[in-house]
Amino acid sequence: MEIVAYGVLSDEEPLLRAAFDKAFAGRHELRCLRLFLDRDTVPTAAGHEIVLSSVNDTLDAGVLRTLAAGGTRMIAQRSTGYNNIDLTAARELGVTVARVSSYSPYSVAEFAWTLALAVNRRIVRAAHRTREFDFRLDGLMGRDLRGRTAGVVGTGKIGSAFAAIAHGFGMRLLGWDITENPDCVALGMEYVPRERLFAEADLVSLHVPLLPETHHLVDAGTLGLMKDDAILVNSSRGGLVDTDALLATLRAGRLTGVGLDVYEEEAGVFFLDKSLEVMTDERLARLMTFGNVLLTSHQAYFTEDAVGQIVRTTVSNIEDYLAGRSGDDTLVAAT
């Protein structure tokens, strides 16, 4: 059969095809599309039993109904997050849904630190200056991290990897999560209420999933608790941060730096070339005007190691479906 994959990046495709060929040895063909799956593009999936989706695809009830009517019986999401998929509708339609429950936590944790260090030491501004042979240091002063406090919001695999790096810098560790991670406790992390973490941390990094309970976890109230010279990093999900509240905070001259790899309205923008278009998202455009904000396009996971794990797990999920099995990564098992 032919299996179709949506939102496939150019660097991802060779890894996906290699894993596919190794597993199926020509028994199934793979069609890779750059376009994202949504209500406008869903007709292209007609006749495909298995669809590989990306985190920026829109798989709401309407899209899922069209997929099911066209013969789709399995959706393999190539990411950990799945808030873009209506699982209730998938279950009602008898469509199996699987995801990649985990991959290299170091890819995201290391990138979160890349953002933190870049905004702290004004790396982007410095690089722009030196390209123009301006070697002044005015406005480039950062701060030592040793002895300061890192607040880790969400201490699962990625959060604990971030905490281990913070420990290596000699930082005091505060954590917030529904359960304590023994690995973080062993590093000396103190688990505290969320309000205390945001009030005391010099650096706050977000590593929780996007759920109804965590939507706009960082809002006006939370931002108001933070130190004026604190750093905020979000490499998890854009919806964790209330963008309007963040813009108001930045306009007030608060926060020494913000590193964002995600944005709550990134669908239809991130992973695409918008350089020749007018940016109609005023909030996104406004964020880009602040010199202390560093915004990247959801690339924290994008290493050979992590993407390799993602494609291998995706292929494994397909094998489970074809064999009539439900694996650990199955979200909806069609009956």
Q: Looking at residue 267, which CATH number applies to its domain?
A: 3.40.50.720
Lowest mean per-residue pLDDT among 85-99, 200-214, 265-279: 265-279
Order across the sheet with 330-332: list the strands: 29-32, 2-5, 50-53, 74-77, 96-98, 330-332
Whether the pLDDT of residue 83 is over 90: the answer is no
Per-residue pLDDT at 14 exceeds 90: yes
Q: Judge if pTM exceeds 0.85.
A: yes
251 and 213 housed in the same domain:
yes
How far apart CA 260 and CA 83 sit, in angstroms, is 19
Q: Which amino acid, 268?
A: G
User: Is the per-residue pLDDT at 291 higher than 70?
Assistant: yes
Looking at the chain, how many residues does it have?
335
Cα pseudo-dihedral 130, 132, 136, 137, rounded to 10: -40
Q: Residue written as tokens 């997050």? A: 81
Nearest-angstrom CA–CA distance, 111 and 128? 21
Q: Indicate if 171 and 248 belong to the same structural domain.
A: yes
Of 166 and 82, the one with more pLDDT: 166
Q: Per the structure, how many domains does the chain have? A: 2
Q: Examine the pLDDT at 271 and tell me if it is beyond 90.
A: no
Both 95 and 232 in one domain: the answer is no
With tokens 């020494």, the residue in question is 256
Stretch 52-76: mean pLDDT: 96
Q: Are residues 126 and 148 in the same domain?
A: yes
Residue 335 has pLDDT above 80, yes or no: no
Residues 143 and 273 in one domain: yes
Residue 237 annotated among the catalytic residues of the structure = yes
The answer to whether 331 touches 97, Cβ cutoff 8 Å, is yes
Residues 156 and 291 in one domain: yes
Q: Are residues 274 and 311 in the same domain?
A: no
Q: How far is CA 327 from the centre of its chain?
A: 23
The rounded distance, in Å, linking the Cα atoms of 36 and 48 is 16
Q: Which of 82-86, 157-161, 312-316 has the lowest mean pLDDT?
A: 82-86
Any catalytic annotation for residue 78?
A: no
Virtual torsion, Cα 201, 238, 159, 101, nearest 10 deg: 170
Q: Cα separation of 174 and 165, whole Å?
A: 13
Average pLDDT over residues 32-60: 95
Please check the confidence at residue 124 and state whether its pLDDT lies above 90: yes
φ, ψ of residue 182 in degrees (nearest 5): -55, -35
Render the burial of 22-37: b for 16+ CB within 10 Å, e for the rest: ebbeeebebebeeebb
Poorest-pLDDT segment among 82-86, 118-122, 215-219, 228-232 = 82-86
- What pLDDT, on a 0 to 100 scale, did the predictor assign at position 272? 86
Domain match, 109 and 97 both:
no
Per the prediction, the chain carries an average pLDDT of: 96
Q: Are residues 288 and 315 in the same domain?
A: no
Same domain (yes/no): 156, 282: yes
Give the whole-number percent of the chain exceeding pLDDT 70. 100
Containing structural domain, residue 235: 105-295
Choose the catalytic residue: 237, 251, 254, 304.
Answer: 237
Tokens 């954590």 locate to 175
Whether residue 165 is found in the same domain as residue 47: no
Task: Catalytic residue, from 266, 312, 319, 325: name it.
Answer: 266
Neighbours of 38 (CB within 10 A): 18
Dist CA 90 CA 229 (whole Å): 46
Token pair recorded at residue 221 = 């109230």
What pLDDT, on the 0 to 100 scale, is given for residue 10?
93
Helix, coil or strand: residue 205: strand
Span 275-286, average pLDDT = 93
Residue 245 and residue 263 in one domain: yes
Closest CA to 162 of 133, 203, 199: 203
